[in-house]
Amino acid sequence: MRLVIGGLLLLSSATAAATSTKCTFYPPATAPVPSVEFLGYERVGPVLIHGAGGPSTLPYKSWKVVTFDERSKAIHFVYTNPGDPALPPSFTVKGRGRHTQLLVGGQTYTGELSCGS
């Protein structure tokens, strides 16, 4: 019985880890888009924006992960604002580690993509 309960506890903790943060992009304070948190397990989803009012989820079909490699801290992510002024403007996050760029409104901001447990 203890073995069964122990196994169930391991499974439940694995499930909790499945929705953990994969990586977070930290732009400079001057950027019009706040930090972006990429959640998921085998693939990215959902994506959170951490603004002044707290975190909010980007609408699922408004973004696309072109490439993503958590180990090398590399990403190419594209978000298109669906016409909602309450959401951030359309932007792209592309790069690796400390050389990750946020492209928004014709401007480029260099930030850092941080990945880890």
pLDDT at res. 116? 79
Q: Which residue has the tokens 């072109």?
A: 66
pLDDT at res. 43? 82
Render pLDDT for 6-51 as a digit per residue (tens, 0 to 9): 443 333 333 334 447 789 999 999 999 999 999 987 788 899 999 8
> Hey, what are 87's tokens?
């959401």
Average pLDDT over all residues of the chain = 84
**Strands 74-79 and 91-96: what pairing?**
antiparallel
pLDDT at res. 10? 37
4 pLDDT exceeds 70?
Answer: no
pLDDT at res. 117? 55
Cβ atoms of 22 and 69 closer than 8 Å = no
Q: In percent, how much of the chain has pLDDT > 90? A: 68
Q: What average pLDDT does range 73-83 have in this prediction?
A: 96
> What is this structure's pTM?
0.80
